[in-house]
């Protein structure tokens, strides 16, 4: 029997400014419409499928605020206001932000939304109202749209929405938001899902305990002044368990530490707070065991024991989890499900195996056909129909499998088994410095203020300890909303000072963000003469070539290393030459507008390609690991002069 153990991690940053009471960004609300309830409700069709859902308490708090009418955000306010009443500032806001959605799947999937996206200016009142309504409707769960007659009618209408339609859209949102938490309570009570949790505001627990721990995984990393507040870490853990019991009726037994980040100190605190199990990545397991974490060691249960404490442990299959997160959106649902299960059968080889699949439960689906529901149905049906497969919760798995002992854990996260995403870059270290200054100021002033002021200041500190702010600092990740994240982080810190009766320091008025390079393109300076041998034959061979660098930053999800870091290209009289700096395992092709071209390839220190020139623009096709090809650029072409 092969036992699959799915854990879907549901998480959004804390977007509420406690000082003003305003929610600054809409993503908790929008994902509550699209993902949170639907991901659980689909399991009603597959009673054999048991799963674990990890809910971040600060996300649950925000959902509850929206469901009870206590929350709003400027995005929703602008969607709900009659188009005729929008101020000029609100109108500009709508045109700037209401196209923040996946273009191929979400925007282009709706003819009127696509039409408005291509227009982008000179909007009539009717254009604005259609945009206000469609920008919200496309975020509703696909299954909910199909079974709710009012939602279905709104979508079928397609354009020329009225004030009554706009009001209906607002009411349907409220209904959808109100059903999210009851769905989790009901399925947990039935035993089909287990609810685990994360420290309350999603901090990187080992770094809150002691930022110096980052140097274990990355010796020589440039660190800020030491931040060491293990009592804050314990508060985040204790509050998470009690809050989830209060809101969902069951005390979580399991912990997905924020970003799978673990250390012996963090696990000790988790055990002290009553957690029975924790999970992280098999990259951490590899460094713990000081060996490759192949399926023979990944597909097992473990028990961590240290200083009289113990926790059950699972380590995610990084590769298979990332296939769902980043690759299967490019495949048909049946092919993706079959590829996934074939890999599991190949890995398990008929023996008893526990396969931990752990990943983000929301951000991937907008890249899939119909929000990923066809893929999930194919996958769950095939598991249900196969007597050699079962899907269980983490607690069910740990109760069945004998655990191997661990006497320590290597300190790291699910990303490269280190903490580099959150500390070590200049922006990251500035962020930690601002946090430490506010934490030290709180310690100096807390005794001299009212209990209400002290609680507010401390709450803002706990929020600022969340991992999400530093996710967007540093070179790894990009988003159109990075300036808003930066501002909100500094607002939380400024509120610490305000709550304690002081003016915030001037340095919180200035962005921590610095300029950051994304996609770049330099056209060729002159024709090339290339020897196709996979080597840089001379200093002059690629001098003057065109140079294209894709945006290597990830977004809300973190993908693995890129197959293409940089492309150099140019032509002679009749041929296109391309040099690829990146993976040598991938297969590369050249496509012109009229289709793929015959290509000669040479691989050595670099990858060089030659093709007859057959058009005015081209792109690379990239195939690896037996998955469908992707293109570079991901959208569009490289123009040839």
Evaluate if residue 128 carries a pLDDT over 70: yes
Q: What is the pLDDT of residue 545?
A: 87
Q: What is the pLDDT of residue 17?
A: 87
Contacts of 202 (CB under 8 A, 6+ apart): 11, 13, 14, 56, 58, 258, 466, 467, 468
- CA pair distance 594, 179, nearest whole angstrom: 49
Question: Would you state the structure tokens that stand for residue 142, as one six-digit string?
Answer: 């696909």
- CA pair distance 620, 633, nearest whole angstrom: 7
Residue ranges per structural domain of the chain: 24-43+67-181, 426-509, 520-639
Architecture of the domain spanning 520-639: Sandwich (2.60)
Evaluate if residue 85 carries a pLDDT over 80: yes
The domain 426-509 is placed in CATH, from the list 2.60.40, 1.20.1430, 2.40.50, 3.30.200, at: 1.20.1430
How does pLDDT run across 136-192, given as a tens digit for each residue? Answer: 999 999 999 999 999 999 999 999 999 999 999 999 999 999 999 999 999 999 999
How does pLDDT run across 561-600, given as a tens digit for each residue? Answer: 567 888 999 998 889 999 998 777 888 999 998 888 899 9
How does pLDDT run across 41-84, given as a tens digit for each residue? Answer: 999 999 999 999 999 999 999 999 999 999 989 999 999 999 99
- CA pair distance 11, 198, nearest whole angstrom: 9
How does pLDDT run across 182-205, given as a tens digit for each residue? Answer: 999 999 999 999 999 999 999 999
Instruction: Give the CA-trace dihedral at 193, 194, 195, 199, to 10 degrees.
Output: -150
- CA pair distance 161, 157, nearest whole angstrom: 8
How does pLDDT run across 219-240, given as a tens digit for each residue? Answer: 999 999 999 999 999 999 999 9
Contacts of 236 (CB under 8 A, 6+ apart): 199, 200, 201, 203, 205, 208, 462, 465
The strand ranges marked E within 328-427 are: 353-360, 389-391, 403-406
Contacts of 416 (CB under 8 A, 6+ apart): 283
Q: What would the mean pLDDT of 458-480 be, rounded to a whole number?
A: 89
User: At 526, is the pLDDT very low, low, confident or very high (cuts 50, 70, 90)?
Assistant: confident
How does pLDDT run across 232-262, given as a tens digit for each residue? Answer: 999 999 999 999 999 999 899 999 999 999 9
Evaluate if residue 625 carries a pLDDT over 80: no
How does pLDDT run across 263-310, given as a tens digit for each residue? Answer: 999 999 999 999 999 999 999 999 999 999 899 999 999 999 999 999
How does pLDDT run across 407-447, given as a tens digit for each residue? Answer: 999 999 999 999 999 999 999 999 999 999 999 999 999 99
CA neighbor of 612 nearest in space, from 598, 601, 622: 598
Evaluate if residue 554 carries a pLDDT over 70: no
How does pLDDT run across 334-363, given as a tens digit for each residue? Answer: 999 999 999 999 998 878 999 999 999 998
- CA pair distance 392, 390, nearest whole angstrom: 7
How does pLDDT run across 313-328, given as a tens digit for each residue? Answer: 999 999 999 999 989 9
Q: What is the pLDDT of residue 564?
A: 85
**First vs last C-alpha separation in the chain:** 59
Evaluate if residue 3 carries a pLDDT over 70: yes
Greater confidence (421 vs 520) lies with 421
Q: What is the pLDDT of residue 586?
A: 87
Same fold, 426-509 and 520-639: no
Most confident of 190-194, 412-416, 481-485, 626-630: 190-194
Most confident of 85-99, 184-198, 471-485, 572-586: 184-198
Threshold 0.85, pTM exceeds? no
The strand ranges marked E within 179-237 are: 193-197
Q: What is the pLDDT of residue 515?
A: 57
- CA pair distance 196, 237, nearest whole angstrom: 12
In this prediction, what percent of the chain has a pLDDT beyond 90? 76
CA neighbor of 105 nearest in space, from 638, 637, 635: 635
Q: What is the pLDDT of residue 517?
A: 58
User: 320, 379 in Cβ contact below 8 A?
Assistant: no
* Alpha-carbon separation of residue 487 from 339, 431, 460, 493 (angstroms): 43, 12, 14, 10
In this prediction, what percent of the chain has a pLDDT beyond 70? 97
Evaluate if residue 520 carries a pLDDT over 90: no
Greater confidence (123 vs 640) lies with 123
Q: Give me the residues paired with residue 5 across strands.
A: 356
User: 71, 65 in Cβ contact below 8 A?
Assistant: yes
User: At 518, is the pLDDT very low, low, confident or very high (cuts 50, 70, 90)?
Assistant: low
Greater confidence (116 vs 582) lies with 116
């Amino acid at each position: 029997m092969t036992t699959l153990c799915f854990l879907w991690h549901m998480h959004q940053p804390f977007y509420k400014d406690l000082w003003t009471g305003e929610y600054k960004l809409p993503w908790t609300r929008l994902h509550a419409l699209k993902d949170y309830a639907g991901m659980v409700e689909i399991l009603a069709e597959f009673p054999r499928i048991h799963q674990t859902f990890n809910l971040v308490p600060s996300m649950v708090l925000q959902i509850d605020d929206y469901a009870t009418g206590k929350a709003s955000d400027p995005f929703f306010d602008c969607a709900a206001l009659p188009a005729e009443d929008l101020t000029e500032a609100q109108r500009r806001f709508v045109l700037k932000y209401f196209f923040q959605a996946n273009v191929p799947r979400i925007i282009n999937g709706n003819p009127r939304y696509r039409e408005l996206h291509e227009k982008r200016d000179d909007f009539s009142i009717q254009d604005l109202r259609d945009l206000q309504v469609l920008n919200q409707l496309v975020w509703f769960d696909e299954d909910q749209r199909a079974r709710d007659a009012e939602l279905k009618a709104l979508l079928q209408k397609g354009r020329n929405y009225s004030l009554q339609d706009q009001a209906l859209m607002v009411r349907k949102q409220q209904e959808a938001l109100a059903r999210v938490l009851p769905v989790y309570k009901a399925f947990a009570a039935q035993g089909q899902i287990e609810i685990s949790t994360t420290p309350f505001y999603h901090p990187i627990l080992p770094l809150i305990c002691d930022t110096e721990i980052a140097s274990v995984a990355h010796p020589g990393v440039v660190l800020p002044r030491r931040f060491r507040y293990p009592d804050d870490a314990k508060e985040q853990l204790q509050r998470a368990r009690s809050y989830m019991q209060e809101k969902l009726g069951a005390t979580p037994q399991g912990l997905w530490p924020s970003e799978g980040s673990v250390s012996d100190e963090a696990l000790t605190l988790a055990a002290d707070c009553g957690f029975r199990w924790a999970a992280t990545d098999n990259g951490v397991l590899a460094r713990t065991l000081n060996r490759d974490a192949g399926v023979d060691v990944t597909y097992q249960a473990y028990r961590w024991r240290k200083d009289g404490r113990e926790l059950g442990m699972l380590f995610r299959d990084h590769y298979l989890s990332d296939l769902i997160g980043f690759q299967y959106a490019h495949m048909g649902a049946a092919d993706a499900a079959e590829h996934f299960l074939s890999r599991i059968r190949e890995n398990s080889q008929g023996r008893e195996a526990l396969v931990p699949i752990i990943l983000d439960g929301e951000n991937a689906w907008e890249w899939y056909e119909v929000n990923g529901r066809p893929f999930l149905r194919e996958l769950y049906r095939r598991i249900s129909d196969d007597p050699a497969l079962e899907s269980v919760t983490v607690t069910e798995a740990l109760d069945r499998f004998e655990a191997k002992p661990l006497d320590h854990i290597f300190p790291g996260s699910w990303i490269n088994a280190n903490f580099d995403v959150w500390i070590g870059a200049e922006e990251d270290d500035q962020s930690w410095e601002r946090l430490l200054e506010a934490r030290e100021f709180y310690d100096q002033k807390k005794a001299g203020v009212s209990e209400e002021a002290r609680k507010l200041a401390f709450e803002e500190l706990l929020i600022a300890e969340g991992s999400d702010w530093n996710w967007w600092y540093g070179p790894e990740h990009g988003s159109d909303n990075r300036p808003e994240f930066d501002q909100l982080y500094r607002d939380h810190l400024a509120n610490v000072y305000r709550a304690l009766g002081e003016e915030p320091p001037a340095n919180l008025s200035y962005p921590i963000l610095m300029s950051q390079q994304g996609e770049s393109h330099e056209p060729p300076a002159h024709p090339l003469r290339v020897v196709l041998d996979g080597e840089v034959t001379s200093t002059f061979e690629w001098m003057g070539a065109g140079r294209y660098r894709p945006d290597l930053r990830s977004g809300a999800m973190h993908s693995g290393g890129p197959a293409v870091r940089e492309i150099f290209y140019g032509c002679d009289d009749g041929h296109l030459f391309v040099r690829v700096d990146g993976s040598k395992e991938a297969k590369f092709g050249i496509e012109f507008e009229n289709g793929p071209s015959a290509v000669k390839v040479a691989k050595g220190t670099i990858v060089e390609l030659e093709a007859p020139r057959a058009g005015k623009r081209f792109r690379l096709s990239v195939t690896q690991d037996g998955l469908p090809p992707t293109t570079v650029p991901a959208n569009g072409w490289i123009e040839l002069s």
